[in-house]
């Protein structure tokens, strides 16, 4: 169960929930963006409001195991993200946090920020329609490894590649065919 600070719980209880996002991209340098109208300082780190954060997915809660990915779109006006993509950002860390605004529209930061996504860049792309240049970053789902395929050769030589002392596959022969009738012993 997630425990909230009293300030966050008061905002949730009020029913007037207004929020902003803090996004960290750990590429060749660390980029910090916020969806709030002004820069925000959280744990002595500045999150830039004018950094080009264009679009981002809202957190999704799921009751089933799925591969839902997380998507962030950044306006790449000075080719900064395009340069990062050329140096290969696949597998680099992404972190997304959400903060709430109190009754006076002040952002609640530091211990009041909630983590909503942590993953890795899966498929970066640049979309250029000659009016806008957008860097699209898709983060992997925590369940992305469900699609992973590993091969394992079931032969004496295959096992010897893993452990020369393991004899469990020594009696497996290549081209050894056995015919069995279905349901019969």
Q: State how far the Cα of 167 lies from the Cα of 67, in Å rounded to an integer.
A: 38
Burial class (CB in 10 A: 0-12, 13-18, 19+), 154: exposed
Mean pLDDT score of the chain: 82
pLDDT at residue 3, rounded to an integer: 84
Element (H, E) at 163: none
Q: pTM of the predicted model, to two decimals? A: 0.70
pLDDT at residue 145, rounded to an integer: 55
Query: Per-residue confidence at 179, pLDDT binned at 50, 70, 90?
Result: low
| Paired tokens of 36 | 């709030």
pLDDT at residue 177, rounded to an integer: 59
Query: Per-residue confidence at 129, pLDDT binned at 50, 70, 90?
Result: confident
Q: State how far the Cα of 77 lies from the Cα of 134, in Å rounded to an integer.
A: 8
Is residue 128 helix, strand or coil?
A: strand
First to last CA, the chain: 52
In terms of phi and psi (left: phi > 0; alpha: psi -120 to 50; beta: otherwise), the region of 84 is alpha
pLDDT at residue 67, rounded to an integer: 57
Q: State how far the Cα of 134 lies from the Cα of 129, in Å rounded to an integer.
A: 9
Query: Per-residue confidence at 161, pLDDT binned at 50, 70, 90?
Result: confident
For residue 162, which phi and psi values (nearest 5 degrees)?
A: -90, -45
Residues in Cβ contact with 172 at an 8 Å cutoff, skipping those fewer than 6 apart: 154, 155, 156
How does pLDDT run across 13-60, given as a tens digit for each residue? 988 899 999 999 999 999 999 999 999 999 999 999 988 888 877 666
Query: Are the CB atoms for 101 and 18 separated by under 8 Å?
Result: yes
Mean predicted confidence (pLDDT) in 172-176: 60
């Amino acid at each position: 169960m997630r425990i909230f600070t009293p300030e966050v719980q008061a905002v949730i209880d009020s029913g007037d929930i207004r929020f902003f996002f803090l996004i960290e991209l750990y590429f060749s340098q660390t980029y910090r963006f916020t969806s709030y109208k002004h820069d925000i300082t959280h744990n002595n780190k500045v999150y830039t409001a004018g950094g080009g954060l264009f679009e981002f997915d809202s957190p999704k809660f799921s009751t089933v195991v799925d591969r839902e990915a997380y998507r962030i779109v950044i306006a790449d006006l000075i080719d900064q993200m395009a340069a990062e993509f050329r140096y290969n950002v696949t597998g680099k860390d992404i972190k997304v946090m959400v903060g709430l605004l109190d009754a006076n529209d002040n952002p609640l930061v530091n211990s009041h920020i909630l983590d909503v996504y942590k993953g890795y860049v899966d498929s970066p792309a640049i979309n250029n329609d000659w009016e806008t240049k957008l860097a699209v970053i898709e983060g992997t789902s925590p369940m992305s490894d469900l699609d992973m395929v590993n091969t394992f050769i079931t032969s004496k030589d295959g096992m010897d590649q893993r452990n020369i002392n393991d004899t469990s596959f020594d009696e497996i022969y290549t081209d050894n065919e056995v015919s069995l009738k279905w349901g019969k012993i």
